Structure 1
Amino acid sequence: MTGHIRRRGKNSFELKFDAGRDPATGKRRIRYHSFKGGKRAAELELVRLVAEHDAGNSVDPSRVTVAEFFDRWDRDWASANVSPKTLERYRQIARLQIKPHVGNLAIQKLRPLHLADLYAKLGRGEKALAARSVGHVHRLIHRVLRHAAAWGVVTQNVAAHVQPPTVDETEISILTEDQIGRVLDHLQGRTLRPIVSLALVTGMRRGELLALRWKDADLDSGMITVARSLEQTKGSLRFKGPKTKHGRRKISIPPWMVAELRAHKARQQELRLRLGMGRAPDDSLVFAKWNGAPRAPHPVSQKFRMAMAALKIEGVTFHSLRHFHASALIASGMDVLTISRRLGHGSPVITLKTYGHLFSNTDARAAEIMQAAFAKARTE
C-alpha cells in the first residue's frame, strides 16, 4: 500500500493513500485526510493511517452513517481548513438541522429525495426556517458530500441534484431614507452613532468596522482601508485577514463622515487622557471599549436591536445597514463593478445574486439617460 503527503499551506497537509480495490466495483479506493502540524508529524500520521487500514481497523464506507461522516469531515478536514467561527456555525447546522433528520442514514444510501424531503420539512411548521437558512443547510451538505465523493466514500454528490428553496427577495430588509434619518437622530450623542454612520456610508461588515484602526482611516484624504476583520466565537475574539483579495479594499467617505470621525477621535483621546492612559497610538481601534480593548460583535448588534425596538422599526439588523448602502448606490445608477468592489465581494456575480432585484428599479433611469442623449444629438 502506498501513500504520500502534499503541502497545502503553512503547517497544513493533505494525506493520501491507496486503500486497494473495491471488491464490488474493482475500482481503486483512494483515501484522503487533512492534517495540521509539521511535515514530520504529517508523515507519522500517514504511517499510522496506513497501518490502521492494513490492520483492518478502518471503517467500511458502506457502514458509515451521515452523522458519522460529518464528524469525520469535521475532525479530518474542517477543523484544519475553516475559521473557528465558520466551524462553530457548521457544527450548529449539523447538530440542529441535519443529524436529527438524516444522521442515522447510511451515507451511501442517501438519495436526492431524502434531501428534498429534508429541505421541505425544515421550511414547514412553527419553527420553520427561512429559505435563506435552508440554503445554508444545503450548501453545507453539498460541501461535505463533495469531500465524501473525493475520498471514495460515495460515488457521487447527491446534493448536486437537489435545488434548495428559492430565497424570497423580501427576506433582505432594507431601511428607508426616512428610517435612516430617525436612526441617526436617535443615536446622536451615543457610542453607537459613529459605527452606525460609518456602516451606512461604507457598507462595511460589522467585523470589519470593529477591527478598523486609526492608521486605516486617512481622514485627510477621506479614505478608509479595510485590511482585517474581528471574529467572535464562543470562546474568544480574534482578528483575521480578508477571505479573498477583494476583501482588502479602500473606500472613500464623504466630508460629513470625516468630520464625525474626527469628533469621535477627539472624544476618545480626551477620555484616555482623563483616565491617565495617554494618547492613543495609530494602531489603536477606532471603535473600542473605554480601555482600548476590542468591542465584541454580538453586544454591538444587541444594542442596535434595542435602538430599533425603541424606534419601533421591525425586521432589521445591523447587517441591514450594509444592505442600505448597496441599495442607495444601485438607486443612484452606479455600475455593479464599482458597487461590488466597495462591498468587498469576490465577484460582481455575488452582488447581482444578492441585489439583482434592485437593479430592475434603475431601468427608468436608463430610459431618462437615453432620452437626454438622443435629445442632445438631435440639437447638435
Structure 2
Amino acid sequence: MASSNGRTKRQRGEVETLPSGSLRVKVYAGVDPISGKRHYLTEVIPAGRTAAKEAEKARTRLLAQVDERRNPRTRATLDQLLDRWLEVADIEATTRMGYENKLNKHVRPTLGKLPVGRLDAETLESFYASLRRCRDWCGGKAFVTHRVKGEHTCTARCRPHVCKPLSPSSVRQIHWILSGALSRAVRWRWIAVNPAAQAEPPAPPHPDPQPPNPTDAARIITESWRDPDWGALVWLAMTTGARRGELAALRWHHLDLAAGVLTLRRSAYLDADGALQEKDTKTHQQRRVALDPETVAVLAELHARYVDRLAQLDATTDPADYVFSPEPDNSRGYRPDTITQRYGRLAKRLGIDSHIHALRHYSATELINAGVDVRTVAGRLGHGGGGTTTLRVYAAWLSESDQRAAGTLAARMPTRPTSPTSPSSPYRVIAEELREQIRAGRLKPGDPLPTVLDLATTHGVSVGTAHRAVASLTADGLINVARGRRATVAEQPEG
C-alpha cells in the first residue's frame, strides 16, 4: 500500500495460501509470557470465490482484538496456568493440599492440556455435568476397577466400575478454584475474560446438620467415658464446639481453669507427607471460650490424672504438654484423623450415624434452641462471620452473653459418668427409682413411663440427664423405646 509521500506502508498481519487453496490469516499478538516465543492469532478461511474478502475481514477482526487487548496473550495450557497460580497464591497449607488434591484428581486429567484461551463456559459446564454423573470421568464406558496397578491376578476386589457422582459441594469447590486461577490469568492478560465467571456452577447444597439427639448424646458420653481421658475430649468437643484439629493442638497453658476460660490458638493437621504439623486456627484468629463449672471439673480431673502419670514416670509437668495425647507423658498430640476414626468406631458400636464434626453441630443446635443469640454462638464456634471480630478482645469473651451460653449448654448436657466409688449421679437416682417401681409392680409391662420432660421437672435435672436415665433402663432391657412413642415397660423374663 502506497502512502502520500511515495513510501510503502507495511501491512499488519498476513494472509497465506495453503496447499488446499484455503487462506490462513496470521496476526502478530506479542510475546508469549510462558514460552517466550512470538505469539500469533490465526484463522483459516475455506477456499472459495469470496475467500479473499473473508480473509481481509478476519485480519481486521484479529487486529482489533490485539489493539483492544481482547486476545489471549499465550498458548499456555490450563496445567501451566494452575502451576503458575499455585506458585503465587497465598493459600494456607491445608487449603492448598485440598486444592491440589481436587485439581490433580479431577481437573488436570481432563482439562489440563487444553489451552487457556480455548476454555469457555460451555466447556466448563459440560465438565461439571460429567463430574455430577461420575467422579472418575468414565464417559459411560464399562471397565474393571483394579485394586492395584500393573499386572496382577484379579481377585474379588477387582470389580466392574460403578459410577459415583461427585457431590455438588465438591463440584462447586472445583468451580471456585478454577475461577480464582482464571481471574488471575485475566489480571496477567493471559486471557481477556474469565470463562468461569460466565459458567454456572451447581446450586449450593442446603445446610443439613445432623447433630446427635439428646438420647444419642447421652449414649455417646457414657460409651466414651470407658476411657475417662477420651471421654473428656468428647465432652469438650460437645460443650465448646471446638474443631478436631483445635482439640489435637490444645496445650495446658491454653487453659485457665481458675477463670474458666479455654483459649484456642492453634490447629493440628497432616502435611502432604503425613507428618503432624500445627498452624493457625481456620479463621487465623485465636478465640477464648467460657467454660461452665462442670467442664472445668472435667478438665481438672483430666489434669490430675496427667500429674499422677508423670509422677509415676518420675517426670515433671510442662505447661506446653498436650491436653489430649496418646502418650503417657502427653508429649505428643493426637493426629486429627485418629480422633475422627476413634469417634467413628464409637458411634458405629452404638449404632449411631454420626461423625466427630457433628459434635460442633450439637453444640450450635443446643445453644440456638436454648435462645442464645447467633452472634455469641458464632463466636464460640470460631466462625468467620457473625460477630467474631468484636469477640477478639479478652474481656469480650468473658461477656455476660458468653458466660450465659456456657451455663446454658452445661444445663442441657447429659450427666457425665462417674467412678463406682463416687456418689450416685442424678441420672442413676432417676433410673434406680424407675427400676424399683418396675420391680414392685407399680409399673407393669406395657405401662408408659413418665415423659422425659416430666422426669426432668420432677427431679430438677436437665432433659439430657433424664434422657440418660431412660437410656440406662433401655440398655438393661427394662423398657422399650420407639421413635415418636412413649417409652413403655418391657416384658420381664420369668425367674
TM-score of the aligned structures, taking structure 2 as reference length: 0.56
Contact 2:28–2:39, Cα closer than 8 Å, also in 1: no
Query: Which residue does 2:95 correspond to in 1?
Result: 86
2:286 to 232, 248, 261: 248
Determine the C-alpha separation between the residues in 1 that align with 2:311 and 2:27: 75
Shift in CA distance, 161/172, structure 1 to aligned 2, threshold 3 Å? farther
Q: CA deviation at 1:226?
A: 1.2
The equivalences for 1:54-133 within 5 A come to 56=37, 61-74=73-86, 76-78=87-89, 81-125=90-134, 126-133=163-170
User: 1:287-339: per-residue Cα shift (whole Å, max 9, x none)?
Assistant: 1231411211111111111111111122x321111122112222222222212
* Structure 2 counterpart of 1:215: 253
Shift of 1:57: 9.5
Q: Give the counterpart of 1:332 among 355, 370, 383.
A: 370
Q: Which amino acid aligns with 2:257?
A: L
Q: Quote the Cα distance in structure 2 between the aligned partners of 1:170 and 1:250.
A: 27
Alignment equivalent of 2:319, drawn from 282, 293, 297: 282
The amino acid of 1:248's aligned partner reads Q
Alpha-carbon distance in 2 for matches of 1:143, 1:179: 42
Alpha-carbon shift at residue 29 of structure 1 (Å): 9.1
> Structure 1's 170 and 250: CA in aligned 2 closer, same or farther, altered over 3 A?
closer
1:24-55 CA-partner distances (Å, limit 9, x unpaired): 698x9997xxxxxxxxxxxxxxxxx9xx95xx
Contact 1:30 1:151 in 2 (8 A): no
Question: Could you say which residue in structure 1 is the equivalent of 2:233?
Answer: 195
- Structure with more contact order per residue of length (Cα contacts < 8 Å, sep ≥ 6): 1
Aligned to 1:319: 357
**Number of equivalences:** 300
Give the whole-Å Cα distance in 1 for the aligned partners of 2:121 and 2:171.
Answer: 15
Query: Given that residues 252 and 320 in structure 2 are in contact (C-alpha distance below 8 angstroms), is that contact kept between their aligned partners in structure 1?
Result: yes
Q: 1:105 to 1:182 in 2, by over 3 A?
A: same
Compared CA separation, residues 250 and 275, structure 1 to 2 (3 A): same
Shift of the 94–117 alpha-carbon distance from structure 1 to 2, 3 Å rule, reads: same
* 3-state SS, counterpart of residue 165 of structure 2: coil
* In 1, Cα distance between equivalents of 2:95 and 2:118: 28
Residue identity opposite 1:320 in structure 2: A
Secondary structure at the counterpart of residue 289 of structure 2: strand
C-alpha distance in 2 between matches for 1:24 and 1:269: 78
| Counterpart code for 1:239 | E
**Match of 1:152, SS?**
coil
Which position in structure 1 is the counterpart of 2:219? 182
Contact 1:30 1:152 in 2 (8 A): no
SS of the residue corresponding to residue 348 of structure 1 reads coil
Contact 1:212 1:287 in 2 (8 A): yes
Q: Name 1:298's counterpart in structure 2.
A: 337
The separation in 2 between residues aligned to 1:343 and 1:85, in whole angstroms, is: 19
Q: Which runs of 5+ in 1 are unaligned?
A: 1-22, 32-48, 351-380
What secondary structure sits across from 2:288 in the alignment?
Answer: strand
> 2:187 is matched with which residue?
150
Aligned equivalent of 2:196, options 146, 159, 171: 159
User: For residue 349 of structure 2, what is the aligned residue in structure 1?
Assistant: 310
Aligned to 2:171: 134
Q: Distance in 2 between matches of 1:92 and 1:212?
A: 28
Asked whether 1:347 is paired with 2:359, we answer no
Alpha-carbon deviation of 1:243?
4.9
In the alignment, residue 197 of structure 1 is paired with which amino acid? W
Distance in 1 (alpha carbons) for counterparts of 2:333 and 2:187: 41
Cα RMSD after superposing both structures? 2.8
The structure whose residues are more often helix, as a share, is: 1
How far apart are 1:262 and its partner, in Å? Answer: 0.9
Mean Cα deviation higher: 90-99 or 111-120: 111-120
Preserved contact between residue 245 and residue 336 of structure 2 (Cα < 8 Å): yes
Per-residue CA shift, 1:201-236, capped at 9, x if unaligned?
Answer: 111111111111111111112111111211212322
> Partner of 1:123: helix, strand, or coil?
helix
CA shift at 1:286, angstroms? Answer: 0.9
Alignment of 1:267 with 2:276, yes or no, is: no
Shift of 1:172: 3.3
What is the alpha-carbon distance in structure 2 between the residues aligned to residue 276 and residue 262 of structure 1?
21
Distance apart, 1:136 and its partner CA: 1.7
- Residue number in structure 2 paired with 1:19: none
| Matches of 2:27 and 2:241, distance apart in 1 | 55
Report the CA distance shift for 1:187/1:57 in structure 2 as closer, same or farther (over 3 A): farther
Report the alpha carbon displacement of residue 341 of structure 1 after superposing the two structures with TM: 1.5
Distance 1:251 1:175 in 2: 22
Same amino acid, percent of matched pairs: 28
Distance 1:25 1:344 in 2: 53
Change (3 A) 1:170 1:336: closer
Alignment partners' CA distance in 1, 2:191 and 2:202: 25
Structure 1 position 186, deviation (Å): 0.8
Q: Which has the larger radius of gyration?
A: 2
Work out whether residues 29 and 152 of structure 1, in 8 Å CA contact, stay in contact via their aligned partners in 2: no
**1:66–1:275 distance in 2 versus 1, CA, 3 Å:** same
**Unaligned segments of structure 2, at least 5 residues:** 1-25, 41-71, 135-162, 389-495
Q: Secondary structure at the match of 1:224?
A: strand
Counterparts of 2:387 and 2:205 in 1: how far apart (Å)? 18
